[in-house]
Amino acid sequence: NGKTQTELSKEYGISVSAISRWIKLYSEVKVDDNTIMTAKQIKELQKRNAQLEEENIILKKSACHNDSTLRERMRAVHLLRHEHAIITLCRVLNVNRSSYYKHFNSKEPKRTIENRNIKNCILQIYSEAKCRYGAKKMRKVLEVNYGIHISQGRVYRLMKQMQLPKMSTVKPKFKAANKSNDRDCHNILKQNFNPKEPNKAWCSDITYIKAGGRFYYLCVIIDLFSRRVIAYKISCKIDTKLVLDTFEFALKNRNYPENVIFHSDRGSQYTSDELRKRLDRASFIQSFSKKGHPYDNAVAEAFFKFLKLEETNRRSYTAFDELELSVFEYIHFYNFKRPHSANDLLSPVQFEELF
């Protein structure tokens, strides 16, 4: 209407600076493409442009896409909270702010804390046992060593979540000759693998292990009561002397018992006259598996199975000394620490001490 800013200020009681600012905001100007816009519209466009640029940066930083889970999106919000406003991050990544605050500010569930502590114990046990335990044995060790009483299924789930590496094995291709002598080979044991006391029944067998490009032979003697390896010897020859030497170690370690059943297969080392005479002098009763029946000596066969699965087939030995140390360490682990299913998941030594 041709009035000055001073006149308008007096008429409406508004400051001159406010009127001046309004004039600047709403005065129309032409932009590059001859579009007529007010200063306010231009400012709003600049603000929106800056907002879109920030949203684009957030999407790139978060690495989230349409199929990202809510947990992944909330984690992205949490990681970027110091660089952008949480309200902006939640809007861009489609996360409810209350859900975000509840997730990160609420108290951690008791079950989650408990599982984390159990996983630490599992990792320690698994490492010490060199990846040899499954859920069943792990549950027993947790109970005995740490006082943690949980189900086998829960142990299995926790181990699966941890993605623990499995044992890797390399099986050597070799079959040892086994000549037998069938004379007077009676089966006294008859698969009675659970005597009531120690030193009532022993079993023995021989296996082969490769080291430094050649095969060595391991003879063991096991007390069937506790499944404890009471003597062993490694030799480059598979002969009667190997069995005799192992038997002498067993006698000494068990304080020379008498009237013990000594069970084995029908290998020539066990049917030899030398061994028979030594067993007679020690007042032992010799027992043999049926020909072609490995089940009659299943305890010794099972020990060799786990020795190879859990130790020797997982390694490559360049010298005899390496093999000897490896077998010593495994048998010590087997006797003193490894839970045995026949002993109510106690180790052989623990089972004997309990008796």
Digit-coded pLDDT (tens) for 203-261: 999 999 999 999 999 999 999 999 999 999 999 999 999 999 999 999 999 999 999 99
How buried is residue 107: exposed, middle or buried, by Cβ count under 10 Å (0-12/13-18/19+)?
exposed
For the cut 70, the answer to whether the pLDDT of residue 71 exceeds it is yes
What is the sign of the dihedral through the CA atoms of 107, 112, 118 and 121? negative
pLDDT band at 170, cuts 50/70/90? low
- pLDDT, position 260: 93
How buried is residue 152: exposed, middle or buried, by Cβ count under 10 Å (0-12/13-18/19+)?
middle
Which SS3 state, helix, strand or coil, does residue 153 take?
helix
For the cut 70, the answer to whether the pLDDT of residue 178 exceeds it is no
Give me 6's structure tokens: 């001073």
Torsion of CA 11, 12, 17, 19, to 10 degrees: -100
- pLDDT, position 183: 55
Nearest CA-CA partner of 133 in 15, 332, 321, 309: 309
Share of the chain above pLDDT 70, in %: 95
Q: Are 262 and 287 in contact (CB under 8 A)?
A: yes
* pLDDT, mean of residues 170-198: 70
- pLDDT, position 174: 47
Torsion of CA 111, 116, 118, 119, to 10 degrees: 140
Query: CA dist 331 to 62, 163, 213, 231, 328, Å?
Result: 52, 28, 23, 10, 5
Q: State the pTM of this model.
A: 0.63
Q: Are 17 and 8 in contact (CB under 8 A)?
A: no
Q: Are 61 and 40 in contact (CB under 8 A)?
A: no
pLDDT band at 285, cuts 50/70/90? very high
Q: Identify residue 346 by its one-letter amino acid code.
A: L
